[in-house]
Amino acid sequence: MSDTHQSEAGRAKRSPSVRLPSLPLTGGCQCGQVRYEIRKIPLVFYLCHCTECQRHTSSAYGESLRVESASLVVTGTLKTTRRGSQSGAIRLGDFCPDCGVRVQHRSEGNPHRVNIKAGTLDDTSWLAPAGHIWVRSKQPFVAIDPAELAYDGPPGDAGSAAIGARWREMLAAGEQD
Ligand SMILES: [Zn+2]
Ligand SMILES: [Zn+2]
């Protein structure tokens, strides 16, 4: 089948591949006091361009590698900061009290999921985002390919499901490489 027969939607949804390194994935803070292991395949990886992520990273966007809490083993001491979000949920940010690096985010209402701040991984070379959220406040110099999944604000349930599905496609494509 020639490329012209492929629908625009199909073209837009075509996913790059992700080659997950062998488990566990490892990482930690800058000073090494906090270390972690991720022992199961992460649920999703996405970038958040909201102003809160820009502030907490003191950078352009937040990188969230969502994992099951039960698959994560953390050693060392974390300190926790709390804030209320627009949705009313209480967001918890865990950081190393010695070097200040934010290692993970959690939601108080959902103890089963943790968002690892992916810049703390020992190996970040394989990461590719399955989606972008809060694009309306992204830094102007950040370019997002039109083929990527991007949401103006919060993705909602449907958007979250689409980003998760794309992540699983990317992992499956990586296994076939
Ligand atoms: Zn540290
Ligand atoms: Zn954010």
The answer to the question of residue 61 being in a domain is: yes
Identify whether 161 is part of a domain: no
Instruction: Locate 155 and state its tokens.
Output: 């993705």
| Distance, C-alpha 32 to centroid of its chain | 22
Q: Domain count of the chain?
A: 1
Can you give the residue range of the structural domain that contains 126?
14-156
DSSP assigned state of 98: T
171 in a domain, yes or no?
Answer: no
Residue at 168 is within a domain:
no
pLDDT over 80 at 82, yes or no: yes
Indicate which CATH number applies to the domain containing 116: 3.90.1590.10
Residue 104's SS3 state is strand
First-residue to last-residue Cα distance in the chain? 22
What's the 35 CA to ligand 1 centre distance in angstroms?
Answer: 9
Protein residues placing their CB within 5 Å of the ion ligand 1: 29, 31, 33, 96, 98-99
Q: Note if the pTM is more than 0.85.
A: yes
What b-and-e string marks burial along 140-151, b requiring 16 or more CB atoms within 10 Å of the CB? eeeeeeeebbbb
In a domain, 76, yes or no: yes
- Judge whether 143 lies within some domain: yes
Beta bridge partners of 116: 65, 104
Phi then psi dihedrals of residue 158, to 5 deg:
-65, -40
pLDDT band for 1, please (50, 70, 90 cuts). very low
Going from the Cα of 19 to the center of ligand 1, the distance in angstroms, rounded, reads: 28
Q: Is the pLDDT of residue 3 over 60?
A: no
- pLDDT digits over 16-72, tens only? 899 999 999 999 999 999 999 999 999 999 999 999 999 999 999 999 999 999 999
